[in-house]
Chains A and B, each alone.
Chain A
């Protein structure tokens, strides 16, 4: 198993602010091509490439652009979501720091395709150096004529605002992010209408994850055929996997979709578990993805295969837990984080996440009962079934899977009372 460096090809190869270095290494080809093709053709190429979002929800990118482009005339917005707040996920930072011009090129192409004049990049507030870099990048880009009026002598004008995230997990959710930029409360919203219909300031808006947008220049520069040669049927290209948890080597690795199994990935790139004990469980798609037990780790690293194994590829943040750790600890850790991240907008998530956190702490203290475990299941199910956004629908998944896969861990603390 080896890395396929498609998006990360230039990472570290040029000084981040050095536009010439970027251009010398094949940069800006895509943008020039896009401006020559016209917006409809760009969208068509992205559709044909079969690109799907890398932010967690996996929505097809081309159709999303087409929806926004198809809305009535008037202001439209493009937002690059660099909040990257999901647990176990730190891949976008690699691109933002290592090949920012490529991300910017992707943003410009997206804005051009949908007809947006104002774009935003909303960066996780903890990535302070990244934010500084991007603020400088905007200045450089403006100087070089890549932001402002008449990009590369075309009629296309666009601006980019760098926005520092405000330390909230929920602003990674697209509507919460939009609300943020509107100076509204950081909270999700009902859909429909979707952002492509009524997004930022009530106008059609596309929100794309950093990795998603980084695919765009690659597709346009290399051509759809070349792009589709990588990956598997229905899921072309590569994916950036973040690997963390109980492994010897954490990191971000770009893999061709379907190039290996979870076990291989953990063994070869993570060099096995920290202690050398066997893997106990894995969250393959960030902190809100269901746990997979050891027996399921033979699945390929594709959306379908992971789903069949019982989880989701999500943000491709692979979190490894080793034997010896208790599922109670795992769940407690997760709920401790999510338990203070609900936006509070809808009842099940707002109250459910807090009650679940309280219950697991009680169980952890050895004061739990089997009734408490049932409560966890019931609340979890209600949140999954009835919450507004991805957070409420997903945070209980690892809890529910832990209860199902590792009942003995819970029984052990209860019996030990």
Chain B
């Protein structure tokens, strides 16, 4: 797990050959695995790439046990 960096994120985008509606869910899984959560910046970015609203993506993410939308503190 690493700290969120826009650069690392951009590399993930490159690795999957661009984010589309068809691979978004799988891609967000990779973001979650890389950073331990899906940051708001990412949601905003993939919303712009896919045309899905941020609201929809947020709503979706929060329905899964294995997705986090905030970095969880250890306390």
A and B touch in the complex (CB under 8 A): yes
A-side interface residues toward B, CB under 8 Å?
118, 125, 161-164, 166-168, 179-187, 201, 343
Q: Are A183 and B60 in contact (CB under 8 A)?
A: yes
Q: Are A343 and B63 in contact (CB under 8 A)?
A: yes
Complex contact B26–A185 (CB within 8 A): no
**Inside 8 A of B67's CB, which chain A residues have their CB?**
166
Q: A183-B25, A183-B52 are in contact. Are A167 and B60 (CB under 8 A)?
A: no
Closest to B23 in A: A161
How far is B26's CA from A164's CA once the two chains are assembled, in angstroms? 7
| A-B complex: 3 closest residue pairs judged by Cβ atoms | A185-B63, A166-B64, A166-B66
**A-B CB contact pairs (8 Å), 12 listed:** A162-B26, A166-B65, A166-B66, A179-B60, A182-B25, A183-B21, A183-B56, A184-B56, A185-B62, A186-B60, A187-B63, A201-B22
In the complex, what's the smallest C-beta–C-beta distance from B56 to chain A, in angstroms? 7
Pick the contact of A183 from B24, B65, B66 — CB < 8 Å? B24
B28 contacts partner chain A, Cβ-Cβ < 8 Å: yes
* Residues of chain B with a CB closer than 8 A to A125's CB: 66
A167 B21 Cβ-Cβ under 8 A: no
Q: How large is the interface on B (under 10, 10 to 19, 20 to 34, 35 or more residues)?
A: 20 to 34
Q: Which residues of B contact A184 (CB under 8 A)?
A: 56, 59-60
| Residue on A nearest B64 in the bound complex, by CB | A166
Please, which residue of chain B has its CB at the minimum distance from the CB of A201?
Answer: B21
A340 to chain B, nearest CB (A): 9
Q: Are B65 and A167 in contact (CB under 8 A)?
A: yes
A182 — which chain B residues lie within 8 A by C-beta?
Answer: 21, 25
Q: What is the minimal beta-carbon distance from B23 to any residue of chain A, in angstroms? A: 6
Return the chain B residue nearest A184 by Cβ: B60
Interface-centre pick from B52, B57, B65 (highest chain A CB count, 10 A): B65
